[in-house]
Amino acid sequence: MTIAKDDIIREEILKEAQKLFRQYGIKKTTMEDIAKAMGKGKSTLYYYYGSKEAIYDTVILKEMGEVFACVKEAVSKATSAEEKLKAFTLTKIRAVQKKANLYKIVTGEQKDTMRCMKHLHTEYDTHETQLIKEILSFGITNGEFAKHIKKELDILPSVIVSSLRGLERDIFTGNKYAKLESRIESILGIMMRGLKTN
């Protein structure tokens, strides 16, 4: 029963912190702000999390998990490698857009010098790169993609993730989302032709 109560309190801390981080950013949000939003004392927060940074880490990891689960589910439902790449790109862009805190990490735009930023950015890249590698391998195996790209699987997934990240940055920072989303399929089509060329 104590474990369930602790889990509820932890979740409540994260929920309130997530709202405040989204609204005010991590620099302007204090432990006192989070405690007030919960209607509890600061000592409660320190009991469960040692610092604001620890809360932020957990919020980001939670958001990363939610986005990645959403992307993986969309990819698993697609039957061809081409559809899997489309699902990866469109689902991720839509999901990350809803996660203001995570977006700053994903694009490397978080300027605060938190100890975890590089680690979280790297971890997110690793997950995405691995998923893209799996999609490319699937495409090679089922004959959708040219066999010669197999020798580039050590670097090609990173190149694709970096390229899509640049596109995401343009979409979000330039307020171009409405215009570019409809063009993503065309952009992916160009990339697909390169993957299929023997």
In the chain, CATH 1.10.10.60 sits at 1-50
Q: Judge whether residue 145 has pLDDT over 50.
A: yes
Average pLDDT over residues 155-182: 73
Question: Residue 115: what are its φ and ψ, rounded to 5°?
Answer: -60, -25
168 neighbors 107 (Cβ within 8 angstroms): yes
Rounded percentage of the chain residues whose pLDDT exceeds 90: 37
pLDDT per position as a tens digit, 61-98: 888 888 889 999 999 999 999 999 999 988 888 787 77
Write the CATH number of the domain with boundaries 57-196.
Answer: 1.10.357.10
Q: Which two tokens stand for residue 37?
A: 């939003």
Rounded CA separation 158/132 (Å): 8
pLDDT per position as a tens digit, 165-176: 777 666 666 555
Secondary structure letter of residue 13 according to DSSP? H
Residue recorded with tokens 């959708």: 144
Closest alpha carbon to 84 in 27, 142, 1, 40: 142
Residues 6+ apart with CB under 8 A from 180: 167, 170, 171
pLDDT attached to residue 155: 94
For the domain made up of 1-50, the CATH class stated in words is: mainly alpha
Rounded CA separation 138/43 (Å): 51
pLDDT per position as a tens digit, 15-57: 999 888 878 877 888 999 999 999 998 999 999 998 988 898 8
In the chain, CATH 1.10.357.10 sits at 57-196
Rounded CA separation 185/86 (Å): 7
